[in-house]
Amino acid sequence: MPHRCPPPWALWGLLASVLLIEVALSLDCYSHEGTYVQALVQPNVTRVTCGPTHNVCVEQMLAMTIVGGQTAVLLRAGCKSEYHVELQGSSYGMLPFVSSSVRVCISDLCNDRFLNSSLPFNVPPEATANATDVLRCYSCLGLTPESCSGENMDVVPCPPNFPRCAIGMASATIDVNYMASFFYRSCQDSGAVRSTSSTRTEPNTIWETITRTVTAGCHESLCNDGPLELPTPPPRTPHPSLGDWHHEGA
């Protein structure tokens, strides 16, 4: 019996069905990348359709806070190939205090928690109320030395166990690709060291790397008014996750 080829309209119908299934299975996520200092304005986000290898939406927040309440925030959202995970962590022991969170979800436009709600900041303690003999330091946080100098500096009383004024720099990297550096002046806690670096990882992914360096420290009130220095960053080693985060979709 001779083999019959399906009519052309049947082939077109099959192709259309495959395309409809692919569209139905695709995932839409919010896409955003931004750094905010002092105030978190409403982010300008876009909506993207993830590629076939990216099956979850992800959002990540990393914040640094100094005495006086000044805060710098890194936000990132997009598509990723990963299992469901939710990580939260805080780092004490040295200013700036760090708050961080990673959230992965699997439904359309589900990665908007950090974009539309209050962020969980790890805030340093406050000074004793009405204290008159406490150490006072200049306090500021900015993306450039100029933004943390002169009229941009506040004066804050130091809380207990913060016996020094300090000048320093902090840098944060999210998933290797997105990095920001900050300059600060503040009270410094007694457990601080000259420099510290920490990395949080999951299998095949570096979620965040944080480096904090004190470039100058002193024990008298308002002594941290010197120039801000830019320390030489350590060499960075490539990681397999480089390029895995697709904040603009496929």
DSSP for 34-54, please give it. Answer: EEEES--PPP--EEEEPPTT-
pLDDT digits (tens, 9 = 90+) for 82-95: 654 555 655 545 67
| pLDDT at 48 > cutoff 70 | yes
- From CA 183, how far away is CA 39, in angstroms rounded? 16
- Nearest of 157, 217, 226, 223 to residue 192 by alpha carbon: 217
The tokens describing 11, both together, are 């082939």
Q: Judging by beta carbons within 10 Å of its beta carbon (0-12, 13-18, 19+), is residue 16 exposed, middle or buried?
A: exposed
pLDDT attached to residue 79: 92
Decide if 59 contacts 85 (C-beta within 8 A). Answer: no
Decide which of 8 and 118 is more confident. 118
pLDDT attached to residue 210: 85
Decide which of 30 and 250 is more confident. 30
Measured CA to CA in angstroms, residue 102 lies from 60, 135, 218 at distances of 4, 36, 36
Give residue limits of the domains in the chain: 27-218
Does residue 96 have a cis peptide bond before it, meaning omega lies within 30 degrees of 0?
A: yes
- Sheet with strand 71-80: strands edge to edge: 46-49, 28-37, 71-80, 56-65, 97-105, 86-91
- From CA 130, how far away is CA 97, in angstroms rounded? 24
- From CA 123, how far away is CA 21, in angstroms rounded? 48
pLDDT attached to residue 118: 64
- Neighbour count for residue 23 (Cβ, 10 Å): 9
Q: By percentage, how much of the chain surpasses pLDDT 70?
A: 67
Report which residue type is found at 46.
T
pLDDT digits (tens, 9 = 90+) for 1-44: 555 555 554 444 444 333 333 434 689 999 998 888 876 666 67
Q: Can you give the pTM of this predicted structure?
A: 0.74
Locus of tokens 């603009």 = 248
pLDDT digits (tens, 9 = 90+) for 196-240: 777 766 655 657 888 888 999 999 999 999 998 765 544 444 333
pLDDT attached to residue 221: 96
Backbone angles phi, psi at 164, to 5 degrees: -135, 155
Burial profile 29-52: b = 16 or more Cβ within 10 angstroms, e = fewer: bbbbbbbbbeebeebebeebebee
pLDDT attached to residue 150: 92
What contacts 118, CB < 8 A, 6 or more positions away?
Answer: none
